[in-house]
Structure 1
Amino acid sequence: MRKVSGFGKCGKRVLAVMMIFAMAVSSGMPKTVVYAEEQPVSPAGINEEVPAPTAEPQPEVTAEPTAEPTAAPQNTLVVKKKKCSYPKKIYEGQQFTLKGTLKANHKMQKVEASIIDAKGKDTVAIKKKANSKKFDLSKIDNDIHFSKLDAGRYTYEVKVSDTYGNERVALQKDFKVKETTWVWPVDGGVKGDGFHCGCSVHGGRHLGIDVKGVSKGTSIKAIADGTVVYAKYHSAAKRSSFGKLVIVYHGNGIYSYYAHCNTIRCKAGDKVEKGEVISTMGATGAAYGTHLHLELRKGPAFSGNYNSYEFLDKYTYRQFNPMKYLTNR
């Protein structure tokens, strides 16, 4: 055999294999035909693609329906006021009488009255059961003590609630408590007839103010420091008598008069201090019911003559409006 040059050991092995394969073919060794694996044919056509298998269908998830927002129930409570009183301006120590009627279209369950100070704090809060379509405000009057309020600004408020849970503000009024130079003479007393009022009882010339709203025997206090110059029953014509009368001299020609007292708790010559009890409420003399008739007069300086009728001379001792002197101006 001819020597093949240029082959190494590996080349010789390849050549040997080729020679063996050639000999096998020439000797009639059966040939093995290898066929490609047959692919399934779609009935619709040979060129149609076979879809890949898909996952089982899952039930569709839907969002739960949201509830429609419900409208807030309408407040159908209606409250009407009839002849309702409320304070506008009072003085320290002065009481105010609440009166009037509330009427509602529903049965009122509760009535709440409050006094709110300038800081929004309830200084007084009173609740009363109503259980009616009508409520008399005098039912809360005894529980609200305006006379205990300090000087300042306040709001008087009345709220009503019905059996359906509705609420309504029936009254809301601002008022002022004024500081006094001198003290109010009767704790809880309210001002009645005013100075120079047009009431027929006084012939249109009421020369003082009336303090009322408290019971017989309630203490009357000196409105300022001074000396008692008159303390006895004042005898005069039936329609002119002051009854049991106390007069206090405060200096600078100023005198205070306390008329129609039930009892006198001082005597002429006594030195009294502001706020000291000098008598009690009554209806002696020409009085129509328990009250204090308070006058302030300007006249000559006290001469030392106690219990003198000269103090009753309205031309020498002239009256002026006590409310102007009781306020801090």
Structure 2
Amino acid sequence: MREVSEFGKYRKRTLAVMMVFAMAITSGTPKTTVYAEEQSVTSAGISVQPEEDPVTPESVQPEETAVPTVEPTTTTQNTLVVKKKKCSYPKKIYEGQTFTLKGTLKANHKIQKVQASIKDEQGKDAVAIKKKANSNKFDLKKIDDDMKFSKLEAGNYTYEIKVSDSYGNEKVALQKDFKVKETTWAWPVDGGSKGDGFHCGCSVHGGRHLGVDIKGVSKGTSIKAIADGTVVYAKYHQAARRSSFGKLVIVYHGNGIYSYYAHCNAIRCKVGDKVEKGDVISTMGETGAAYGTHLHLELRKGPAFSGNYNSYDFLDKYTYKQFDPMKYLTKR
């Protein structure tokens, strides 16, 4: 038989590959682009395939990550409406001074809870209280006793009231800044408590009580000057029984301001004495028109002291007008 050359064998194999490729095309196989690659032939007639390019990190591209679509969320609208009626709030008070809260909050929903607070300059609660309401209206007098403005030290504060309803809505009904100023007025006795206050509607005092009574301490307890000044009156006040101050000390503090210490048991100073805040000037008693041991303290504004000591002019309420001491004293 005639030998077939190596080149003939290679040619037959090539024709066989081409026939298979053609059959694949005619049988519906998707068209594939074929790139001819150079093949080298050795003397043994074996085809050697060229090496592929190595895979490097630079040649690998990361697949893009699909970003999930965020559906918009719906928020419940706050429908709580709060109206204020004749609400009072502090603007400037002195250390130890009280402040009376007044006014009414009215809402379109039933108010479940009221939160009242006094915040300092760092935003911390100096005072914070909560009250249940269960009504469309809330009277601020219900939180007045708990706010304790008189306990605040000198500084800047924010007074805030929040209300919330049964639907979970919350609203700031009132928010005001105010200042507490340092005071020079001191409480005149060690201990004691406020008795009858400053008012004009008392049958016991003829319809007027233009000072404050301090009670709750025993007879003979020291009474101290509430501020620096000069003693301008120190003797028994001679007057009708129902209007006598008894043993009375008056101290002039400058700028037309006088302090009056009435119903004393003993006087421990004399006119012309220079006294400092905290100096003992008398003792607790019940002389004059007094009902039990107590100190009747007054503050008055009048003409500057003229040098006329122990003058009855100091008792002229039209020239020397009284004002409420509780707005300026450091203790309640």
TM-score, reference length from structure 1: 0.57
The structure-2 alpha-carbon separation of the partners of 1:248 and 1:137, relative to structure 1 and needing over 3 Å to count, comes to same
How far apart, CA to CA, are the structure 2 residues paired with 1:114 and 1:50? 80
Q: Match of 2:97, as an amino acid? A: Q
**Preserved contact between residue 94 and residue 188 of structure 1 (Cα < 8 Å):** no
Match of 1:142 among 115, 140, 145: 145
Match of 2:71 among 61, 68, 90: 68
Match of 2:300 among 295, 301, 306: 295
Number of the residue aligned with 2:47: none
How far apart, CA to CA, are the structure 2 residues paired with 1:171 and 1:218? 38
How far apart, CA to CA, are the structure 1 residues paired with 2:322 and 2:315? 17
Match of 1:42 among 5, 23, 33: 23
Number of the residue aligned with 2:166: 163
Number of the residue aligned with 1:175: 178
Q: Match of 1:157, as an amino acid? A: E
How far apart, CA to CA, are the structure 2 residues paired with 1:93 and 1:111? 25
Displacement of 1:63? 5.7
The structure-2 alpha-carbon separation of the partners of 1:45 and 1:145, relative to structure 1 and needing over 3 Å to count, comes to closer
Displacement of 1:42? 3.2
How far apart, CA to CA, are the structure 2 residues paired with 1:245 and 1:85? 40
Match of 2:112 among 92, 109, 127: 109
Displacement of 1:110? 2.1
The structure-2 alpha-carbon separation of the partners of 1:234 and 1:223, relative to structure 1 and needing over 3 Å to count, comes to farther
The structure-2 alpha-carbon separation of the partners of 1:320 and 1:216, relative to structure 1 and needing over 3 Å to count, comes to closer
Q: Deviations over 1:154-177 (max 9, x none)?
A: 221112222222221111112222
How far apart, CA to CA, are the structure 1 residues paired with 2:67 and 2:258? 86
Residue 31 of structure 1 pairs with residue 9 of structure 2: no
Number of the residue aligned with 1:319: 320
How far apart, CA to CA, are the structure 2 residues paired with 1:176 and 1:128? 25
Q: Match of 1:144, as an amino acid? A: M
SS across alignment from 1:109: strand
SS across alignment from 1:142: helix
Correspondence 1:180-199 to 2 at 5 A: 180-183=183-186
Q: Which ranges of structure 2 fall in alignment gaps of 5 or more residues? A: 33-64, 203-207, 218-222, 291-295
SS across alignment from 1:42: helix
**Preserved contact between residue 247 and residue 257 of structure 1 (Cα < 8 Å):** yes
**Preserved contact between residue 249 and residue 260 of structure 2 (Cα < 8 Å):** yes
Correspondence 1:118-133 to 2 at 5 A: 118-133=121-136
The structure-2 alpha-carbon separation of the partners of 1:314 and 1:265, relative to structure 1 and needing over 3 Å to count, comes to closer
Q: Match of 1:31, as an amino acid? A: R
The structure-2 alpha-carbon separation of the partners of 1:31 and 1:134, relative to structure 1 and needing over 3 Å to count, comes to same
Displacement of 1:133? 2.0
How far apart, CA to CA, are the structure 2 residues paired with 1:223 and 1:294? 10
**Preserved contact between residue 210 and residue 292 of structure 1 (Cα < 8 Å):** no
How far apart, CA to CA, are the structure 2 residues paired with 1:221 and 1:187? 15
Q: Match of 2:299, as an amino acid? A: L
How far apart, CA to CA, are the structure 2 residues paired with 1:224 and 1:192? 20
Number of the residue aligned with 1:78: 81
How far apart, CA to CA, are the structure 2 residues paired with 1:114 and 1:148? 14
Q: Deviations over 1:23-43 (max 9, x none)?
A: xxxxxxx32566725424539
How far apart, CA to CA, are the structure 1 residues paired with 2:25 and 2:312? 140
Displacement of 1:141? 0.9
Displacement of 1:181? 3.2
Displacement of 1:187? 7.8
**Preserved contact between residue 247 and residue 265 of structure 2 (Cα < 8 Å):** no
Aligned positions, number: 256
Q: Deviations over 1:83-111 (max 9, x none)?
A: 11111222222101111111112222321
Correspondence 1:137-286 to 2 at 5 A: 137-183=140-186, 210=210, 217=215, 222-224=225-227, 229-230=234-235, 234-235=239-240, 241=243, 246-250=248-252, 255-257=258-260, 264-270=263-269, 274=277
How far apart, CA to CA, are the structure 1 residues paired with 2:247 and 2:102? 32
SS across alignment from 2:277: coil
How far apart, CA to CA, are the structure 2 residues paired with 1:50 and 1:173? 80
Q: Match of 1:97, as an amino acid? A: T
Taking only the aligned residue pairs, the percentage that are identical comes to 53
How far apart, CA to CA, are the structure 2 residues paired with 1:132 and 1:89? 32
- RMSD in angstroms over aligned alpha carbons? 5.0
The structure-2 alpha-carbon separation of the partners of 1:45 and 1:89, relative to structure 1 and needing over 3 Å to count, comes to closer
Q: Match of 1:178, as an amino acid? A: K
